[in-house]
Amino acid sequence: MEQEEKIRSKVARAVQLLLFKSHRIPGVKGWELKKNLGPGYLSIIKFLNTRFQELGLTIKIVSDDGNELSMSDDESKLSTARFYVTLKDELSLTAVKTLGWSIDEIAGLAVVISTIISHKGSAPVREVEEILKKKFPEWKVKLNLARYIRRGYIAEDGENLVLGWRTFAELDVEKFIHYILSA
Amino acid sequence: MPQSNKYVELIERIIRLCDEVIEKNIDPFIVDVKENLEKLREGLFEMDEKILVMNMAALLKLIYVILLQQEDVKKRASRLYLDPFLMEVRLMGLDKEKIAEAFIKAFRPIAENEQATMSIMRTAYGYWANLREYRLPEAQEASMPNALNTIREILEVEEADFENEMEKILEEIGQEPVEYYDLIKRDGEEKKVLRALALSFLMTRGLVSIMQDPISEKVWVFKTTPKNIDKHSVALSI
């Protein structure tokens, strides 16, 4: 009984760590989970993931270089990776609008991300702006780019733009490119 | 020129070219590996020990460039490699809805909850501590209970609508400075607080700035670019 109570409190702690933002970036690092939940933290996370999936959510693990990891990956890789809770299934266009996004903003972000990918992960800011200006009103371009940077979808690297942490956490980049090419 | 100097110069040129490719992440195929290997082989028997060591260093750099070329070939062969020009043509051929749909199919947003952290509390304290107040004659007219009710209504406004209001204000400002009260009252008293709040967000983003005329006590609002702003907080009465 005591053991059961212990596990329950660890699951509750894991929920707090995963869902409540305590740093600038949401989610939690593997080593932080281990520190708070003990060496068996992965069992707790696996159990929690099955419960989250019933609610249409899932736990996603992303390494420092932006690759998605699985819970069976090497402990040392998981330790430095970040654990996020994301939606499990696809959203409708209407649902995305209720999250505060307009069609223009979503399409703009899609154009920026695909341009960066086509430049092997780093595209000149000026080139991205020129492409956006062909599709959207000029005054909106800088405004939207600043918004994407603020939210972590892209980041500035000198005079270039690169993909940000949020893109790796929220977007299946390979699938996205496939959908763009087959749209 | 002595023969050994000719070799030193040649080897240094090869090392410089390789370093450029390795450090600046530029196309590794600009290095003609075969041609450079032949150059390094030339006069191998005439080189002294010191030049031979340099020759070896250049050879190692060339090996690294070959490795980069191999990586590049792998990347180009993978599904993720796309030519920037072809991608641009593809994007221009699609309408905004189609692009947005493709994005949403692969998009799984993070479930996150904001909470006050020590760093947020520190930032908030810094903000209030550095707040500078501009006293304006019209400020006395505002009645506190009404302002609070309006703020309560604003909190229920959808983020997308709020963004639209910001875009609208930005368009209204145009190229010439606009008087602050003229701008926020343009859509009537009911929308005054919402517009003042939207304007403050534009100022935070560095898209708009203000200037106070100390003689007429008028406050002018004008467009700016995010890089031109200096960081300071300003309190303006509604």
Match 């670019």 to its residue by tokens.
Answer: B225
Looking at the predicted structure, is the pLDDT value of residue B235 above 80? no
- Are B103 and A173 a contacting pair at CB < 8 A? no
| Pairwise pLDDT comparison (B233 vs A40), residue with the higher score | A40
Report how many domains make up chain A: 2
Who's near B110: CB < 8 A, 6+ residues apart? A26, A27, A84, A85, A86, A166, A169, A170
- For testing contact with chain A, the best of B25, B83, B107 (most A CBs within 10 A): B107
Cα nearest neighbour of A173 on chain B: B106
Match 């956490």 to its residue by tokens.
Answer: A169
DSSP B109: P
Determine the average pLDDT of the residues in A145-170.
92
Q: Which residues pair with B132 in a beta bridge?
A: B234
Contacts of A60 in chain B (CB under 8 A): 108
Determine the average pLDDT of the residues in A8-35.
89
- For testing contact with chain A, the best of B79, B90, B91, B158 (most A CBs within 10 A): B91
Alpha-carbon distance of A72 to A95, in angstroms, equals 33
B129 burial via Cβ count (<10 Å: 0-12, 13-18, 19+): exposed
Who's near B203: CB < 8 A, 6+ residues apart? B209, B210, B234
Question: Residue B233: which of B207, B200, B208 has the closest Cα?
Answer: B200
Report the CATH number that the domain containing residue A126 is assigned in CATH: 1.10.10.10
- For testing contact with chain B, the best of A51, A101, A153 (most B CBs within 10 A): A101
- Are B84 and A115 a contacting pair at CB < 8 A? yes
Of the pLDDT bands very low, low, confident and very high (cuts 50, 70, 90), residue B137 is low
Q: What are the φ/ψ torsions at residue B219 (nearest 5 degrees)?
A: -110, 125
Q: Given A89, A104, A139, which residue is the final one in a domain?
A: A89
In the predicted model, what is the mean pLDDT of chain B? 79
> Are both A20 and A65 inside the same structural domain?
yes
Shortest distance, CA A5 to any CA of chain B (angstroms):
26
Looking at the predicted structure, is the pLDDT value of residue B155 above 80? no
Q: For chain B, which residues make up each domain, given as ranges?
A: 2-80, 112-156, 158-232
Shortest distance, CA A71 to any CA of chain B (angstroms):
18
Rg (alpha carbons) of chain A, rounded to whole number: 19
Range of lowest pLDDT (A6-10, A21-25, A108-112, B27-31):
A21-25
pLDDT of res. B152: 57
- Are A23 and B104 a contacting pair at CB < 8 A? no
> Are both A173 and A116 inside the same structural domain?
yes
- Are A177 and B225 a contacting pair at CB < 8 A? no
Is B72 in a helix, a strand, or coil?
Answer: helix
pLDDT of res. A125: 94
Using CB atoms, which residue from B90, B108, B164 is nearest to A87?
Answer: B108
| Pairwise pLDDT comparison (A150 vs B114), residue with the higher score | A150
Q: How do residues B37-83 score in pLDDT, each as one tens digit? A: 988 888 788 888 888 999 999 999 999 999 998 888 776 665 556 78
Who's near B226: CB < 8 A, 6+ residues apart? A142, A146, B205, B206, B207
Cα nearest neighbour of A146 on chain B: B205
Determine the average pLDDT of the residues in A1-26.
85
Determine the average pLDDT of the residues in A155-164.
92
Cα nearest neighbour of A110 on chain B: B103
- For testing contact with chain B, the best of A18, A61, A120 (most B CBs within 10 A): A120
pLDDT of res. B107: 94
- Are A110 and B99 a contacting pair at CB < 8 A? yes
Looking at the predicted structure, is the pLDDT value of residue B226 above 90? no
The CATH number for B158-232, chosen from 3.40.50.720, 1.10.10.580, 3.20.20.70, 2.60.40.10, is 1.10.10.580
> Are both A46 and A63 inside the same structural domain?
yes
In the predicted model, what is the mean pLDDT of chain A? 90
pLDDT of res. A99: 79
> Are both A101 and A151 inside the same structural domain?
yes
Contacts of B123 in chain A (CB under 8 A): none
- Are B107 and A131 a contacting pair at CB < 8 A? no
Question: Residue A89: which of B205, B117, B197, B109 has the closest Cα?
Answer: B109
- Signed CA dihedral, A100, B131, B140, B178: sign only: negative
> Are both A40 and A79 inside the same structural domain?
yes
Using CB atoms, which residue from A22, A87, A140 is nearest to B117?
Answer: A22
Using CB atoms, which residue from A92, A169, A176 is nearest to B110?
Answer: A169
Contacts of A154 in chain B (CB under 8 A): none
Determine the average pLDDT of the residues in A139-149.
89
Looking at the predicted structure, is the pLDDT value of residue A117 above 70? yes
Alpha-carbon distance of A63 to A30, in angstroms, equals 10
Alpha-carbon distance of B226 to B224, in angstroms, equals 7
> Are both A165 and A143 inside the same structural domain?
yes
Looking at the predicted structure, is the pLDDT value of residue B150 above 70? no
Task: For the beta carbon of residue B177, count every other beta carbon within 10 angstroms.
Answer: 17
Domain enclosing residue A137, as ranges: 94-182
> Are both A176 and A108 inside the same structural domain?
yes
> Are both A125 and A152 inside the same structural domain?
yes
pTM higher than the cut 0.80: no
Annotate B158-216 with DSSP letters as a single string. -HHHHHHHHHHHHHHH-SS-EEHHHHHTTT-GGGHHHHHHHHHHHHHTTSEEEEEETTT
Q: How do residues B190-217 score in pLDDT, each as one tens digit? A: 788 888 888 888 888 778 888 887 777 7
Looking at the predicted structure, is the pLDDT value of residue B2 above 80? no
> Are both A106 and A82 inside the same structural domain?
no
Contacts of A91 in chain B (CB under 8 A): 104, 107, 109
Contacts of A107 in chain B (CB under 8 A): 96-97, 99-100, 103
Residues 81-140 of B with CB under 8 A from A: 81-84, 86-88, 90-92, 94, 96-115, 117, 119
Looking at the predicted structure, is the pLDDT value of residue A107 above 90? yes
> Are both A37 and A110 inside the same structural domain?
no
